[in-house]
Structures are given as structure tokens and as C-alpha cells.
Amino acid sequence: MILRGVDVVRRHEMPIESEDDVVLVRRKVKLIAQSLGFDAFASAAITTATSEITRNVWVHARRGHAVIEEVTDETGRRGVRIEFRDEGPGIDDLPRVLAGGYSTAHSMGLGVSGSRRLVDEFEIDSAPDRGTMVRMVKWTRF
């Protein structure tokens, strides 16, 4: 569940319309994580999760967008929240995808499940013919 008690400091909207956009979204998240003071592991984790989900948007839906937000919570902790949306075919067996090892794109099937493990908060909403929304947050450590 994504905590709602956060303030958005800065917001960036980025289209996902080509394979190059996977790199651009990943790069933007990495720069933001570094500017927020994420340690090397946390920066790599959110960058990798972003890359995986952005690639999924491109491979499965061929277009979508990412909204990247620099956020703070009531304790002053800073983080990055990314929301991905597409209008692709959706996911017909979400529990199986979240368990890992299932892919319709002939890959290892670890993108969604691996991304969920790399972030502090993760939410997904998808159904066949309805598209997919993924929202994730990674927080700095005190």
C-alpha cells in the first residue's frame, strides 16, 4: 500500500514511446535518487526497478508514461515515487506475475516481482484489456 501522507516537491512527466525512452526514464530516476542523497545500493535498486517496469511498458504496451515525483513524508524523509501507466493488454494472471518466473515475453519473468522487492512501497493494478498501473516508492535512509 502506498502511503498517502506525502508532499510532492517536484514532478516530472515522461512519455514511454520508444526503446530510447527506457534509458531516459531510468537516467532521470538515477539522477533524482543521487540528488536526494540515496546511498549506492538504494540508488541502484530504484534505478533497476524503474528500468524493469519501463521496459515492461514498452515491450507489452508499446506506449505509456511515467510520472516521477520527488516526495517527503511527515517525518521529513525524502524519496522518489514513480507511477507508470499504459493502455496495453493488461496482465491476466497478476498473482502469478507477482510470484515471479512467469513471462509472456519469453524472458525470465522477474521484472515485476524483482522490482517489488527492490523498493519500499509497491502497488500494481492491471486486468486484461484494461492496461496496467504500477506505483512504487523508494525512501532515503536516516
pLDDT tens, position by position, 31-80: 999 999 999 999 999 999 999 999 999 998 999 999 999 999 999 999 99
Domain count, the chain: 1
Q: Tell me which residue range forms the domain holding 130.
A: 6-139
Burial class (CB in 10 A: 0-12, 13-18, 19+), 133: middle
Q: What pLDDT is attached to residue 87?
A: 94
Whether 1 is in a domain gets the answer no
Q: How much is the pTM?
A: 0.87
Q: What are phi and psi of 90, to 5 degrees?
A: 75, 180
CATH code where residue 17 lies: 3.30.565.10
DSSP type of residue 100: S
Q: Is the pLDDT confidence value at 3 over 60? A: no
Q: Is the pLDDT confidence value at 142 over 70? A: no
Using an 8 Å Cβ cutoff, are 26 and 47 in contact? yes
Burial class (CB in 10 A: 0-12, 13-18, 19+), 91: buried
